[in-house]
Amino acid sequence: MKLNSLIEENFRLAEIQKAALRKLKIKTVKDLLYHFPVRYGDTSSVKNIGSLEGGENAAIFGKISGLKTSKAFRKKIPMAEAFIEDETGKIKAVWFHQPYIAKIIGEGAFIKAEGKVSERKGELYLSNPKIETVSKLPIGVGDSLFGERGENYTLYPVYAESKGITSNWLFHKIQKAFSSGILDEMIDPIPEDILKKYNLPSLKTAVIWIHSPRRKKDAEAARKRFAFEEIFFIQLEKQKEKIEYEKNPSAVIDKSEKDLENFIGKFPFKATNAQRKAISDILADFKKGRAMSRLLEGDVGSGKTAVAAVAVYAAATTRPNGQSFGNLQTAYMAPTEILAAQHFESFIKYFSYLNISVGLITGSGCRKFPSKVNPLGWTDISRTQLLKWVANGEIPILIGTHALIQKTVNFKNLALVIIDEQHRFGTAQRQKLAKKSALAPHLLSMTATPIPRTLALTIYGDLDLTLLDEMPEGRKKIITEIVLPNAREMTYEKIREELKNGRQAYVICPRIDEPDPSMEMALLAKSVKEEAKRLKKEVFPEYEISILHGKMKPSEKEKVMNDFKDKKIDILVATSVVEVGVNVTNATVIIIEGAERFGLSQLHQLRGRVIRSNHQAYCFVFADTKTDKTLNRLKALKEAKNGFELAEYDLKFRGTGELYGQKQWGISDIGMEAIKNIKMVEAARAEAKNLIEKDFSLTAYPLLRQKLSHRQSEAIHFE
Ligand code: ADP
Ligand code: MG
């Protein structure tokens, strides 16, 4: 048996089993060994047949006899019957509607049965128990079920199964593989000193422990090791990327304090301490002559754009190296056209007095500020013209969507790349932007996605982290209310008060789960239209109501957003397209319909739409179900101080995968276990960093190097 040999070369398989293994993604012996149990059962909780009592649920082991099919009662339900016997007693088992059971189990077979003990006329029987054949009976209950080596194991593994492949089958095949000596082929890539330091089992031991632990502790230690391993390799990759990126020479941007103060002094507000700290982190990076890679993470409304504006200012007022003319350029990428247009507007405000041009490029057109005819406004220009001015360096600031990373966009002196709402972009896209210049541009990523610190350290391991953990002065906490169906009317009246005071409102329609994305868009559009109609007719006839959804043309969307900004619209009924970054300060109310269908962090981001001014803001979370679980979850939304707290909450109480787009990050279930453990993540990161700093090419660690390059080629394949 070889690790990389195919399962079917080593075991005789029926067609149904081959199909099941394909489904479980088990092709090779190695895949089999890496098919880890999802949990462990404990035979010490198994009962003696002699001690069973009516009404309880029990698991028993025994020998089967007296198999036959028959018809039950007057209704003539087909059924199978048999007796199960161990050294303490005998019990009858019946399977209604499953006469075939009598045919698939052989007389005299050893089985494990689990089910309810029923009682009829003083006699006990098992009704419809789940059964599985086992190769051997435990030697007395509480003793070893699988212990063919005569040891006292009581834990047995339970695996993800598929029709034709049971846990028991998997267990025995894995034991066979073990006894073939295959474990000697498994060489541990993790250096021994690291394993020792963190008290982790070696690969060989961990593989044994995870499949046949003697104690719970062993299984846990094994899982911990594999979780550590996964995070360790991600960190090795990230630390390598980071050092590689930092090796590139970059433009030196060195601005005087006074100069920056001047620029910041013109803001219509006082910068927060967190903003100042972020600005000084960035400007310190700029001076080094090495490419910055920094992540600015701050809750919605914490003022990331102003921080970005200072960075842009510093670049746009710096001459390219050795030149007495021209400016360093910035590319500023946003995830949607609405956002790009919004940043374009606010940057005009930041930069108009400086005589610095700003360009906008999106799929639906290009703009330039200032316009020749109106030096205070912008003008539409052709793409060709805009690209020409970007390529010859005349436009120092270019804002845009994905259109920015197309091949045809070339810069003369690109020195800074800013990516807003970073979680929307993959590493590959980031790299594309970074490659648009001879000198590596400084990279500033910004995100409001509240993710737990452990996850941020892992997936953004190649970035330095700056937190904007302070809201602008005077902001009031949003009042969040969870509204059950019977309180709807009352809530609408409260909202009417706000509208009367001249405020505006968002109504977000629920997420629609539909596998086909274009279908989902159509359904959402429909629900948005219907809700708008209903509100106009039944609730707010006196107010102007408009809609915004993904099926609208970008130009239509923009018109609606502008009308909303200009207060021509009072209520905007929308899908979650308004989720990211949109900024309308007079909108102080947000209603979220079908809230239970959104993740907590998405709800938090939606709520962030109304934290843009110093008016008291309200978020009404409309829920249709009132199970405790849903209500508790929504309550967390009400109580949490910030997005990070919510993320930690979700990490603790919900499945990890579903929430953080686990697939997207490429972290396995076992890896996500590590994400719950800050110490482990920090240890994996520190060790990886240390190794890469000492030995960038991992010359002294050929196994690590090999596994790393294997992972990378798999990742490319995956993309
Ligand atoms: P986000 O971090 O979500 O991107 P924005 O940068 O869009 O937030 O800022 C939200 C709003 O807060 C904007 O209207 C912005 O002008 C304003 N703002 C930013 N910084 C401050 C501050 N220090 N004091 C008051 N208002 C601020
Ligand atoms: Mg923003």
Q: What is the pLDDT of residues 20-38, one digit of tens each?
A: 999 999 999 999 999 999 8
Whether residue 605 is contained in a domain is answered as yes
Domain boundary among 158, 190, 214: 158
Is residue 315 domain-shared with residue 413, that is, in the same domain? Answer: yes
Q: Are residues 313 and 333 in the same domain?
A: yes
Rounded Cα–Cα distance for residues 105 and 441 (Å): 69
Residue 660 confidence (pLDDT): 46
Name the nearest CA neighbour of 449 among 598, 660, 677. Answer: 660
Residue 166 lies in a domain: no
Task: Determine the pLDDT at residue 293.
Answer: 87
Instruction: With cut-offs at 50, 70 and 90, classify the pLDDT of residue 471.
Output: confident
Does 427 reside within a domain? yes
Atom 15, ligand 1: residue with shortest CA distance: 303
Ligand 1, atom 20: nearest CA belongs to which residue? 303
Residue 91 in contact with residue 76, Cβ under 8 Å?
no
- 366-381 pLDDT per residue, tens: 999 999 888 889 999 9
Choose the residue to mutate in 607, 612, 613 for probing ligand 1, maximizing ligand atoms within 8 Å of C-beta: 612
Instruction: Mark which of 586, 610, 641 sits at the end of a domain.
Output: 641
Q: Identify the residue with better confidence: 105 or 196.
A: 196
What does the pLDDT average to over 70-83? 82
Same domain, 432 and 513: no
Q: Are residues 281 and 139 in the same domain?
A: no
Q: Find the mean pLDDT for residues 270-288.
A: 95
- Does the pLDDT of residue 46 top 90, yes or no? no
Last residue of a domain, one of 115, 132, 158: 158
Q: In the β-sheet with 293-298, what is the strand arrangement from edge to edge? A: 379-381, 365-369, 358-362, 397-400, 329-333, 414-419, 442-447, 293-298, 464-468
Domains of the chain: total: 4
In terms of residues, how long is the chain? 719
> What pLDDT is stored for residue 124 in this prediction?
92
Q: Which residues line ligand 1 (CB under 6 A)?
A: 269-272, 275, 298, 300-306, 448, 472, 581, 583, 585, 612
On the question of pLDDT at 221 being above 90, the answer is: yes
- What's the pLDDT tens digit per position in 90-141? 999 998 888 888 777 888 888 888 888 998 888 899 988 888 777 666 544 3
Average pLDDT in the 618-641 region? 84
- At 528, which helix (H) or strand (E)? helix 517-534
| Nearest atom within ligand 1 for CA of residue 473 | 24
* CB contact at 8 A, 69 and 85: no
558 and 631: one domain? yes
Instruction: Verify that 318 and 412 share a domain, yes or no.
Output: yes
User: If you take atom 19 of ligand 1, which residue's CA is the nearest one?
Assistant: 303
For residues 312 and 427, membership in a common domain is answered with yes
The reply to whether 140 and 53 lie within a common domain is: yes
Q: Is the pLDDT of residue 16 over 50?
A: yes
Both 386 and 242 in one domain: the answer is no
Q: Which ligand is nearest to the CA of 450?
A: 1
- Residues 443 and 160: their CA atoms lie apart, in Å, by 43
Position 362, amino acid:
T
Pick from 206-215, 423-432, 519-528: least confident: 423-432
Domain that holds residue 112: 39-158
How confident is residue 166, by pLDDT bands cut at 50, 70 and 90?
Answer: confident
What band does 514 get if pLDDT is binned at 50, 70 and 90? Answer: low
On whether residue 405 sits in a domain, the answer given is yes
Q: 348-352, 546-550, 613-617: which has the minimum mean pLDDT?
A: 613-617
Domain CATH code at residue 520: 3.40.50.300
Q: Are residues 276 and 375 in the same domain?
A: yes
What pLDDT is recorded for position 448?
A: 79
- Label residue 143 by pLDDT band (50, 70, 90): very low
The domain that holds 78 is classified in CATH as 2.40.50.140
**Does the residue 3 lie in any domain?**
no
Question: Which residues in 120-137 are b (16+ Cβ under 10 Å) and which e?
Answer: eeeebbbebbebeebeeb
Mean pLDDT of 622-647: 81
Q: How far apart are CA 662 and CA 51, in angstroms?
A: 46
**Ligand 2 being an ion, which residues bring their Cβ within 5 A of it?**
581
Please indicate, yes or no, whether residues 141 and 277 belong to a single structural domain of this protein.
no
Give distance in angstroms: CA of 269 to centre of ligand 1.
9
pLDDT above 70 covers a percentage of the chain that reads: 90
What is the pLDDT confidence band of residue 715, given thresholds at 50, 70 and 90? low
24, part of any domain? no
pLDDT for the residue numbered 663 = 53
Residues 148 and 236 in one domain: no
* Phi/psi-derived region of residue 135, left when phi > 0, alpha when psi is between -120 and 50, beta in every other case: alpha
Ligand that comes closest to the CA of residue 296: 1
- Tokens read off for 80: 């199978």
Could you give the CA distance from residue 32 to residue 160 in angstroms, rounded to a whole number? Answer: 12
**Is 294 a domain residue?**
no
Residue 582: per-residue pLDDT: 63
Average pLDDT, integer, range 592-603:
83
Look at residue 6 and tell me if it is in a domain: no
Distance of alpha carbon 327 from alpha carbon 619, whole angstroms:
44
